[in-house]
Amino acid sequence: MDIPEELKKLIAEKQQQPFKLTYSDEQNLFIAVGYGVQPTGGYSISVNELYLTENSIVINTELKGPEKGENAGTEQSFPYIVIKTEYLENPVVFQ
pLDDT of residue 7: 97
What is the percent of the chain with per-residue pLDDT over 70, rounded to a whole number? 100
Q: Kindly report, residue by residue over 51-74, the tens digit of the pLDDT.
A: 999 999 999 999 999 988 878 888
Question: Which residues on neighbouring strands pair with residue 92, listed in sequence order?
Answer: 57
The amino acid at residue 28 is N
Query: Rounded to an integer, what distance in angstroms lies between the CA atom of residue 12 and that of residue 44?
Result: 18
pLDDT of residue 1: 81
Q: Which residues of the chain have pLDDT under 50?
A: none
Burial (0-12, 13-18, 19+ Cβ within 10 Å), 20 = middle
**What spatial distance separates the first Cα and last Cα of the chain, rounded to whole Å?**
24
